[in-house]
């Protein structure tokens, strides 16, 4: 027999119910006494297939979130719940492998393997223990690795906030700029090419004449002088963007700035429209 002590009754009940739900018909005896779970079993498979998965799930689904929020509040001074949720969402996307372009991150599998190995080694000879002490002392290295991912999520959050500010600033500039052309047809395949409403090509020299560089001196983000700066300076009433590469970062940025003014069409549509005019 051994006991697992928790900080409060809610944690103990959560783990107890998880263990019971995983293996409700086990011959092992499991009981809950306020903040303690009492286990009476010599069945190694019960520990491996029931106790360990329940504790691992509780760590990854409950304790990790509590720990991350504590780090956000006490080390990085993010106190707003909405900020917590946004950073946690980014953190989850990193852990699920959806942001593979972030450099210098340890392999996600390494973190999982470390957690598995630590818990399994601890239960080779089960003894009574405090769950929170186990987190603090046995899983210190695990949480040190986890902090690397948290800091990466914070960096991504900051970049996204800067990007959103950049988009809002250019939207404001666009709305306050008088339109120099009713329509612009922007074509992207290997490069961006500008055309007016008659589908006549707008040369680079003309784009430079449209551009007011003083508008773009105070932005944190670099605003390229080839596409974005002239496009916002022209401020067309309607923008038609022809491309098959809708995931291109600049295409997405243009769509976000121009919003309802922009119409995104497949690349081949430009040739069809141009042939009708010609």
Please choose, from the candidates 114, 27, 29, the residue with its C-alpha nearest in 3D space to the C-alpha of residue 16. Answer: 29
Cβ–Cβ under 8 Å, residues 41 and 29: yes
Element (H, E) at 40: strand 36-40
Cβ–Cβ under 8 Å, residues 166 and 221: yes
Residues counted in the chain: 278
User: CA–CA distance from 61 to each of 56, 134, 202, 268 (Å)?
Assistant: 8, 17, 55, 48
pLDDT of residue 278: 46
pTM (predicted TM-score): 0.82
Cβ–Cβ under 8 Å, residues 35 and 7: yes
CA–CA gap between residue 247 and residue 253 (Å, rounded): 10
Lookup result for tokens 């047809």: 185
Q: What is the pLDDT along the chain (278 residues), one digit of tens a residue?
A: 889 999 999 999 999 999 888 776 667 788 999 999 999 887 888 888 889 999 999 999 999 999 999 999 999 999 999 999 999 999 999 998 898 888 888 888 888 888 989 998 888 887 899 999 999 999 998 998 899 999 999 999 999 999 999 999 999 999 999 999 999 999 999 999 999 999 999 999 999 999 877 777 766 567 888 999 999 999 999 999 999 999 999 999 999 999 999 999 999 999 766 545 54
pLDDT of residue 220: 57
pLDDT of residue 22: 79
Q: What is the pLDDT of residues 72-125, one digit of tens each?
A: 999 999 999 999 999 999 999 999 889 888 888 888 888 888 898 999 888 888
């Amino acid at each position: 027999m051994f006991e697992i002590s928790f900080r409060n009754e809610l944690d103990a009940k959560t783990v107890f119910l998880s263990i019971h739900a995983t293996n409700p018909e086990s011959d092992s005896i499991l009981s809950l006494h306020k903040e303690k779970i009492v286990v009476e079993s010599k069945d190694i498979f019960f520990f491996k297939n029931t106790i360990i998965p329940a504790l691992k799930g509780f760590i990854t689904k409950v304790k990790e979130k509590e720990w991350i929020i504590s780090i956000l509040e006490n080390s990085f001074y993010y106190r707003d719940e909405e900020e917590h949720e946004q950073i946690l969402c980014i953190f989850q996307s990193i852990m699920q492998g959806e942001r593979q372009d972030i450099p210098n991150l340890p392999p996600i599998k390494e973190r999982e393997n470390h957690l598995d190995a630590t818990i399994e080694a601890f239960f080779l000879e089960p003894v009574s223990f405090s769950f929170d002490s186990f987190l603090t002392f046995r899983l210190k290295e695990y949480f040190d690795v986890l902090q690397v991912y948290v800091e990466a999520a914070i960096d991504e959050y900051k970049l996204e906030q800067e990007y959103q500010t950049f988009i809002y600033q250019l939207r404001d500039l666009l709305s306050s700029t008088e339109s120099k052309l009713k329509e612009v047809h922007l074509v992207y395949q290997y490069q961006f090419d500008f055309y007016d409403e008659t589908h006549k090509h707008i040369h680079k020299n003309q784009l430079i004449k449209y551009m007011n560089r003083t508008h773009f001196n105070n932005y944190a983000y670099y605003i390229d002088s080839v596409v974005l700066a002239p496009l916002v300076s022209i401020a067309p009433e309607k923008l038609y963007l022809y491309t098959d590469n809708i995931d291109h970062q600049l295409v997405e940025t243009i769509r976000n700035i121009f919003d309802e003014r922009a119409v995104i069409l497949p690349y081949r549509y430009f040739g069809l429209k141009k042939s009708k005019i010609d």
